[in-house]
Amino acid sequence: MAFSHRLLCGSCISANLGNPPRSAKIFTIQFLNFSQQPQLRPFLDIHAPTNHQRELLKMSSTKAGKKPAGKQQRSAIADVVAREYTIHLHKRVHGASFKKKAPKAIKEIKAFAEKAMGTKDVRLDPQLNKKVWESGIKGVPFRLRVRISRKRNDEEGAKEKLYSYVQAVNVKDPKGLQTTIVEDS
């Protein structure tokens, strides 16, 4: 024999002490027998559950010992790869004062490489540094074509197993170029 009981979510109860308003989220708890843990299911006719209802369902379905299922992270150890990117430095250093544009551009290149390759250890080629600084501290190039290589770290006491190495690529106009995978020889 199945018993059912209607209940309101906590935020809806605290907002209204009397009868539930039309916008209140109503749920049904079904008990198959009292020894089982109740399952929380939305009381819906045809409509898909709202974000509020999904959140309540997620909270009720996760148990104390388990972590909620999310994205599984890929291992980057086997992924030794090199790619060419165009970094739009102009938008990344916008708003920086003149005397901080080139240093900020270097920091943004490192942040871009860290995000693109998934490694905390990012190393810049000296030629890349010269290319950023060639027009002075204020004259950072609008766009920069770079080759980012993810390599294995062979040092003895290395914290990270991989590192990214960023090099400048000479192109006439970096605007409009797509990201490409480079085969190292």
pTM listed for this prediction: 0.59
- CA 89 distance to own-chain centroid: 21
pLDDT of 108 reads 97
The side-by-side arrangement of strands in the sheet containing 122-124 is: 122-124, 162-168, 143-152, 82-88, 180-182
Segment 87-102 shows an average pLDDT of: 96
pLDDT higher at 79 or 137: 137
Domains along the chain? 3-61 (no CATH), 82-182 (3.10.440.10)
Segment 127-150 shows an average pLDDT of: 96
Query: Which tokens hold the place of 139?
Result: 């004259």
